[in-house]
A and B are shown apart, each in its own frame.
Chain A
């Protein structure tokens, strides 16, 4: 009789990053009241009698269980690495005054890691969605080259003192502003003209990045070895590059951009279908694209200005997050990407600090080990 029992849509599936992992994410199939309101369907012989899955992000109970498991493990790992970083290897006895002083110092680093993970994860996923391209990262759009060029120019012109001249909140804001200006110019110019073309924009972005990179490399050749040594430390992405004074500026910017992106998750799902489908479904594609690209630039600019280049990180995390989440829905992919990013970043720090005693070079371990995991996952699954 009731062949068209539309199971209640599990579409309102809330998964903000901070909620409890497993409970409540998977409504038991038995509790769903069947809405047998399709008498006409009874006459249809080709529709087999079965309960239909909904059209939500995770249509089957199996997918829901899998997602709950993934989300749960990521939260547990995040907490483990986060707390481990705060508490482990603290020279003072637990509970003493000194213990808490050291732990407080580490909290800053932890906050920076959370911010960077958030920026890189959300930025890359959203960027890949609006460009309809799953093998690129916003880092190649000139941000990191601009950062390298600014840092190198400072050392080239002012010597080692140049780096100190770049470390202050005003300079931090100026660097973010410079990167935002570059991207706004690029997007505004290339996407609002008559010949608006995403591929051309990406290409121009890469060319600008390449050009700035070449200029930086040339200037680096002319530096003295000691100046170059000081500069090199700034050009490896490292959480220790960040400054406590930057946080009061960085946090509101990141929270603002991140919230707007998360609130637009449903629209991002439609944008992922491509320009023509998105327009057909009533999205103003150009407006949506430019808005998202500007938010992505803000996130990437804050992350880069704070800790330096992390070229491969966002890309790695976005791909792993899609594999882990197993859905197209940004409402689920974005939080998973954020947690994955934090686990990878804090995990890398944990390993570097407690296994290799070389915590300055975390971007190296991320690109080496992360890159290998990435290749293994892609080669095994065979799709992005």
Chain B
């Protein structure tokens, strides 16, 4: 379980995130949605201890993220941002291998290699594993980074807009992979999404953020209504019945 208690972050006198109280249960996929500048990514990076908080506490699986050693957290929690520094001369497999660093401190064992192979196969990167990162397209690189956090083998996986740079096909594949990771590998996945319909289709729970506060949080079906989405995104949204559940139409 991820627990946020009166968490806040002051950016300037006008821009403030929080105070946020939120409980994200273990298991399944939780999507953070909301308009630009709502604070979705800020909340995610604070949970992932990449950004310090000004007030409040965040606990992941009972560990306080601001006081627990980063080394210990890295075995429980992994986080992936949108932008990643691309190292030249690093192959996909070597990058995924870094996911094992918290467990092996860089001394890869045969068991580690097996985990790496599994993560690569899980995202269908087998053909690309020997390629250098700077030879890949943005979408392929994105998948390689996701494979890395999966190889990290943490119970909690936080992803900041993993569908950025991905076309329709790869977005769908990515969401299916993540769904599978939640179901087959028992991971708790928290993901920032821009496309509300992806959230409605693949997430178990949706957490709607607006103006630095959590506006709504509940099962997807409960959030995917015209009334709630119109309020969250501050623009007219109509929810219709699609072939696979509710669809938000706002074009």
Q: Which residues of A contact B (CB under 8 A)?
A: 4, 6-9, 11-12, 35, 37-38, 41, 44, 46-48, 52-57, 59-60, 132, 134, 266-267, 269-270, 272-274, 276-277, 279-284, 322, 326-328, 383-384
- Compute how far the CA of A98 lies from the CA of B102 in the bound complex, rounded to whole angstroms: 59
Q: B27-35, B107-115, B209-217: which one contacts chain A?
A: B107-115
- Compute how far the CA of A59 lies from the CA of B107 in the bound complex, rounded to whole angstroms: 15
Query: Which of B70, B75, B112, B129 has the most chain A CB within a 10 Å cutoff?
Result: B70
| Chain B 72-104 near chain A by CB (<8 Å), digits 1 or 0 | 111100111100110111110110111101100
Closest 6 CB pairs of A and B: A282-B74, A274-B85, A266-B106, A55-B97, A6-B113, A282-B71
| Residue of B whose beta carbon sits closest to that of A269 | B106
| Residue of A whose beta carbon sits closest to that of B49 | A279
- Compute how far the CA of A60 lies from the CA of B94 in the bound complex, rounded to whole angstroms: 12
The reply to whether A11 and B126 contact each other, CB–CB distance below 8 Å, is no
Q: Which residues of B contact A (CB under 8 A)?
A: 48-50, 69-75, 78-81, 84-85, 87-91, 93-94, 96-99, 101-102, 105-110, 112-114, 116-118, 121, 124, 126, 129-130, 134, 149, 152
The reply to whether A4 and B110 contact each other, CB–CB distance below 8 Å, is no
* Pairs across A and B, CB under 8 Å, 12 listed: A4-B117, A6-B114, A8-B110, A9-B110, A11-B108, A46-B124, A47-B121, A132-B85, A277-B85, A280-B50, A280-B152, A281-B74
In the complex, chain B residues whose CB is within 8 Å of the CB of A46 = 121, 124, 126
| Residue of A whose beta carbon sits closest to that of B145 | A277
The reply to whether A328 and B90 contact each other, CB–CB distance below 8 Å, is yes
- Compute how far the CA of A267 lies from the CA of B81 in the bound complex, rounded to whole angstroms: 20
In the complex, chain A residues whose CB is within 8 Å of the CB of B91 = 59
In the complex, chain A residues whose CB is within 8 Å of the CB of B96 = 55
In the complex, chain A residues whose CB is within 8 Å of the CB of B97 = 55
Q: How far is the CB of B38 from chain A (nearest CB, A)?
A: 21
The reply to whether B78 and A280 contact each other, CB–CB distance below 8 Å, is yes
In the complex, chain B residues whose CB is within 8 Å of the CB of A44 = 121
| Residue of B whose beta carbon sits closest to that of A322 | B89
The reply to whether A276 and B98 contact each other, CB–CB distance below 8 Å, is no
- Compute how far the CA of A272 lies from the CA of B88 in the bound complex, rounded to whole angstroms: 10
- Compute how far the CA of A54 lies from the CA of B102 in the bound complex, rounded to whole angstroms: 18
Select one of B49, B84, B117 contacting A6, CB under 8 A: B117
| Residue of A whose beta carbon sits closest to that of B106 | A266
The reply to whether B74 and A272 contact each other, CB–CB distance below 8 Å, is no
Select one of B80, B114, B129 contacting A280, CB under 8 A: B80
Number of CB contacts from chain A to chain B under 8 A = 122
The reply to whether A9 and B112 contact each other, CB–CB distance below 8 Å, is yes
The reply to whether A277 and B94 contact each other, CB–CB distance below 8 Å, is no
Select one of B89, B114, B124 contacting A327, CB under 8 A: B89
The reply to whether A12 and B101 contact each other, CB–CB distance below 8 Å, is no
- Compute how far the CA of A322 lies from the CA of B106 in the bound complex, rounded to whole angstroms: 20
- Compute how far the CA of A14 lies from the CA of B102 in the bound complex, rounded to whole angstroms: 21
The reply to whether A282 and B102 contact each other, CB–CB distance below 8 Å, is yes
Query: Which of B84, B99, B106, B118 has the most chain A CB within a 10 Å cutoff?
Result: B106
In the complex, chain A residues whose CB is within 8 Å of the CB of B149 = 280
- Compute how far the CA of A384 lies from the CA of B88 in the bound complex, rounded to whole angstroms: 8
In the complex, chain B residues whose CB is within 8 Å of the CB of A56 = 94, 108
Select one of B69, B121, B124, B134 contacting A383, CB under 8 A: B134
| Residue of A whose beta carbon sits closest to that of B126 | A47
Q: How far is the CB of A356 from chain B (nearest CB, A)?
A: 36
- Compute how far the CA of A48 lies from the CA of B89 in the bound complex, rounded to whole angstroms: 25
| Residue of A whose beta carbon sits closest to that of B127 | A48
Query: Which of B69, B81, B85, B152 has the most chain A CB within a 10 Å cutoff?
Result: B85
In the complex, chain B residues whose CB is within 8 Å of the CB of A276 = 50, 79, 81, 84
| Residue of B whose beta carbon sits closest to that of A5 | B117
In the complex, chain A residues whose CB is within 8 Å of the CB of B134 = 383
| Residue of B whose beta carbon sits closest to that of A194 | B52
- Compute how far the CA of A52 lies from the CA of B89 in the bound complex, rounded to whole angstroms: 19
The reply to whether B108 and A55 contact each other, CB–CB distance below 8 Å, is yes
In the complex, chain A residues whose CB is within 8 Å of the CB of B105 = 266
- Compute how far the CA of A56 lies from the CA of B93 in the bound complex, rounded to whole angstroms: 9
The reply to whether A55 and B113 contact each other, CB–CB distance below 8 Å, is yes
- Compute how far the CA of A46 lies from the CA of B128 in the bound complex, rounded to whole angstroms: 13
- Compute how far the CA of A12 lies from the CA of B106 in the bound complex, rounded to whole angstroms: 9
| Residue of A whose beta carbon sits closest to that of B112 | A9
- 20 further interface pairs, Cβ-Cβ under 8 Å (given A4-B114, A56-B94, A59-B130): A4-B118, A9-B113, A11-B108, A35-B110, A54-B93, A55-B94, A57-B94, A60-B130, A266-B106, A267-B106, A269-B98, A270-B98, A273-B85, A280-B74, A280-B79, A280-B80, A280-B152, A281-B98, A282-B70, A328-B87
In the complex, chain A residues whose CB is within 8 Å of the CB of B94 = 55-57, 59, 328
The reply to whether B110 and A279 contact each other, CB–CB distance below 8 Å, is no
In the complex, chain A residues whose CB is within 8 Å of the CB of B90 = 328
- Compute how far the CA of A60 lies from the CA of B88 in the bound complex, rounded to whole angstroms: 17
- Compute how far the CA of A383 lies from the CA of B134 in the bound complex, rounded to whole angstroms: 10
| Residue of A whose beta carbon sits closest to that of B97 | A55
Q: How far is the CB of A153 from chain B (nearest CB, A)?
A: 40
The reply to whether A273 and B98 contact each other, CB–CB distance below 8 Å, is yes
The reply to whether B112 and A328 contact each other, CB–CB distance below 8 Å, is no
The reply to whether A38 and B89 contact each other, CB–CB distance below 8 Å, is no
